[in-house]
Structures are given as C-alpha cells and as structure tokens.
Amino acid sequence: MDFHKEMTALGQRAKAAARVMAGADTRAKDAALLALAGLLEAEGATIAAANARDLEAAQAAGMDAPRLDRLRLTDKVVAAMAQACREIAAQNDPVGGIDSMWRRPNGLLVGRMRIPLGVIAMIYESRPNVTVDSGVLCLKAGNAVILRGGSEAFHSNQCLAGLIHRALAGAGLPADAVQLVPTTDRAAVSAMLKLDQYIDVIIPRGGEGLIRAVVAEATMPVLKHYKGVCHAYVDAGADLEQALEVVFNAKVQRPGVCNALEGLLVHAAEAAAFLPLVGARLGGAGVELRACPRALPLLGATATPAGPGDFGQEFHALILAVRVVDSMAQALDHIAEYGSNHTEIILTRDHGRAMRFLREADASMVAVNASSRFNDGGELGLGAEIGISTSKLHSYGPMGALELTSTKFVVFGDGQVRG
C-alpha cells in the first residue's frame, strides 16, 4: 500500500468535509448527535461483539490490566457515550458566536467570532470510546476529524465509526467529516503526520512514548499532555476525615488513568495523625506506599522507602509516593519540580491558603477539597473531551467543543478608510 497516497486522499476528503461542516446548520449537527445516541443504545450487542474480539486478542497478547480496563466497552461506558452525545447536542453551538465586541474611535465595530479549527487528527491508544467522544465534539464544533486508534481496538473503532457515519448520513452531513484510518500499519501514521497542508492540528492520546514520537514527527501543531503526575497536598488544619476520602478516591477508584493521584504531600503538623489513617485505608486496599524517611514510620507495614524515581512517576497502578513537607510553600516547590501540569489538589480549611494554591499550582485543573478524578471533560460539564492539554497554547485542560474552535476578527464599518 502506498501510505502517502492513501493518507493524502484521506486528508483531501477531510479538508473538503471541513468546509461543509464549518457552515453546517446547528439543527443538522444536533440531529446527528441525537441519532448517534440512539444508535449506541440500540446496537449494544453489535458493539459488545466487536469489543470482545479486541479484548480476546489483547488478553492473548498479554496486555496489562490498566490497558485492558481502558479497552473494555462496558454497558456503563456505552451508556456514558450516548449521554455525552445528548449533552453536547444540548449545548450552544460555539461556531459563529461573538466572544466580545468594541467600538473604535473611528466608528468601526470590532469583534471576535468563533470559528472551527478545520481538520483535526486524533492518534490514540486503547480507549475506543475516544472514537465517539472525538467524533461528536469535532462535529459540534464544525470540524472534520481523522481518527487513528490503536491496533488493539481496531474492531471496536470500526464498529463505532460505522455508527457515526450512519448518524451523519441521516442528518445530511458528509460522512468524510469523521474518517477512521483503515489500517493498523504505523507507516500510515508517519505519512499522516506530514500532511500539514490538509490537517490543522494533531491531538495524541496515550502513553508518553507515543506522544513524544508524534511531537518529533509532526509538521503541524500538536495539542498534548505527556503524563499525569497528580498531587494532593494535605494542609495544616485540614479536615482529615474528608481528606482521607478524597485521597482514597483519587488513588483507588481507577488507578490506571491520567487523573489518578500519584503523589501525596502532607504538612508536618498533620503527619502523625493522618498518615496512619492513610496506611490503614489505602494500604488495606492494596496500595503500595513509597514514602520519604519522615513518612515511612507512620504508614505501617505496607510502606516501603521511596526510590530516586518515585517522586514524579506516573505509576498507572496502586502505588502512591508520599512525602511530609513543612509548609505549603514546600509543597508548591515539590509540585513545580515533579508535577506534569495536569492536576493538583489541596485539602484545607484555610481560605487564604486555598486561594494561594489555586493561583500558584501550575496545572490544567487545580481543586480545593475535591478529587483529582474530576479533571475530565464530562465531569466538568463539557459533555465529553477530546483530550486534556497540558500545554497552554491553544488550550489548557480538558478540551470540549468550545476548545475545538478558534477566533477570527470581524469588523463592521460604514465606509471608513485608513488615513
């Protein structure tokens, strides 16, 4: 197969579809989203059969538990995809909206209008639900999207893309607005990363190795996050019972995802009271606690000394690095050194320190007295997300439909000329 030729044709079709989508009627876009929600619910058995083929092959290949978890399309995951379609359909259409407007001394009325980004390419691993999330968000924002999922989810992705095409056709929209790369050969990805004349932005979702490889090869802008090293800081005077529940949820609920907790920082004033609770509750749930010398004797039998690479590590497992700090300033220094700009949380009763933490902790989401697991497009009210950006251009944090648009200047005049 001539991958350059095939991917060029894919890009050309996407570019043509993007022009149609940029001017698509809101009612047509929303009709496609609602139709897709119905198809996801009606075709549950078909989706499950396709996913079972992928799961069987992945298990035979020895895929680890966290990646199998991300690959599995449970009834709950399918229902969440359908719900996301309906939530996004209910949102205001960002395309054509005027963010702001002002009048110049010469009478010109100047504004910023929301416009689609154009053609977006998604490269992602394991998670077949990304096929639907990406497709519907790009659709709502008037973009075309090229999807390249991992080979481990090929049958699941084909099935879901087929449902998207049925929904698009029913709404009178071009099927080429959502295209799935028809091969698992990695040479197709290399060819796609050179198509900057057709593709406006690449969004990779997966392990750090995948994302760095995309950044190294791509000739177009990349929206990315390399890893999720998320911290919780337990402040002096914190509600320790509440803090324990938040920390437990952030680490244990789903340890293989990017917004799971990887580091725990505890103020020295609370260490003697809080860390034995952590040892009992999290250690009892199977969490391996890798601790600094001050934390180690307070955590119980499940704790081991932290190694040189444990702080700043994205474990994707039931492992948590723990450190005692003497102040919030020291906690912020630790986050600045070891964080990944993904998610940081503070457990505190002090409003002033909470507000300082919000200002100074550099991450795409910073929370007070809430789990890191909320850094998710659906949980933050975006309906779904196409990814979480930890780079600040052009978006920071979960990217919904609004984040998949840009702005252009629009000017209303009455014959003005420049002197």
Q: Which fold has domain 230-374?
A: Aldehyde Dehydrogenase; Chain A, domain 2 (3.40.309)
End-to-end CA distance of the chain: 58
| pLDDT at residue 1 greater than cutoff 80 | no
Please tell me the distance from the alpha carbon of residue 84 to that of residue 255, in angstroms, as a whole number: 23
Structure tokens at 371: 């789990």
3 state DSSP class of 42: helix
pLDDT of residue 392: 86
Please tell me the distance from the alpha carbon of residue 165 to that of residue 32, in angstroms, as a whole number: 9
Q: Answer yes or no: are the C-beta atoms of 348 and 239 closer than 8 Å.
A: no
Going by pLDDT thresholds of 50, 70 and 90, the confidence category of residue 408 is very high
In this prediction the pTM is: 0.89
| 111-125, 204-218, 286-300, 328-342: least confident range | 204-218
Going by pLDDT thresholds of 50, 70 and 90, the confidence category of residue 309 is very high
pLDDT of residue 393: 84
Give the DSSP per-residue string, 144-158: EEEEE--GGGHHHHH
Please tell me the distance from the alpha carbon of residue 261 to that of residue 321, in angstroms, as a whole number: 9
pLDDT of residue 220: 96
Please tell me the distance from the alpha carbon of residue 203 to that of residue 201, in angstroms, as a whole number: 7
Going by pLDDT thresholds of 50, 70 and 90, the confidence category of residue 143 is very high
Please tell me the distance from the alpha carbon of residue 213 to that of residue 287, in angstroms, as a whole number: 32
Q: Answer yes or no: are the C-beta atoms of 105 and 79 closer than 8 Å.
A: no
pLDDT of residue 301: 87
Amino acid at residue number 310 = D
Q: Answer yes or no: are the C-beta atoms of 285 and 318 closer than 8 Å.
A: yes
| pLDDT at residue 226 greater than cutoff 90 | no
pLDDT of residue 256: 86
Q: How many CA atoms lie within 13 A of 95 on its CB side?
A: 25
Q: Answer yes or no: are the C-beta atoms of 410 and 114 closer than 8 Å.
A: no
Architecture of domain 3-225: 3-Layer(aba) Sandwich (3.40)
Structure tokens at 157: 């992705």
Please tell me the distance from the alpha carbon of residue 111 to that of residue 217, in angstroms, as a whole number: 36
pLDDT of residue 67: 86
Average pLDDT over residues 233-253: 98
Going by pLDDT thresholds of 50, 70 and 90, the confidence category of residue 302 is confident
Please tell me the distance from the alpha carbon of residue 7 to that of residue 21, in angstroms, as a whole number: 20
**What residues are paired with 88 via a beta bridge?**
none
Domain regions of the chain by residue span: 3-225, 230-374
Q: Answer yes or no: are the C-beta atoms of 162 and 110 closer than 8 Å.
A: no
Handedness of CA 50, 56, 58, 61 (dihedral sign): negative
| pLDDT at residue 224 greater than cutoff 90 | no
Higher pLDDT, 407 or 70: 407
Cis peptide before 394 (omega within 30 of 0): yes
Please tell me the distance from the alpha carbon of residue 176 to that of residue 230, in angstroms, as a whole number: 38
The closest of 167, 189, 149, 171 to 50, measured between CA atoms, is 149
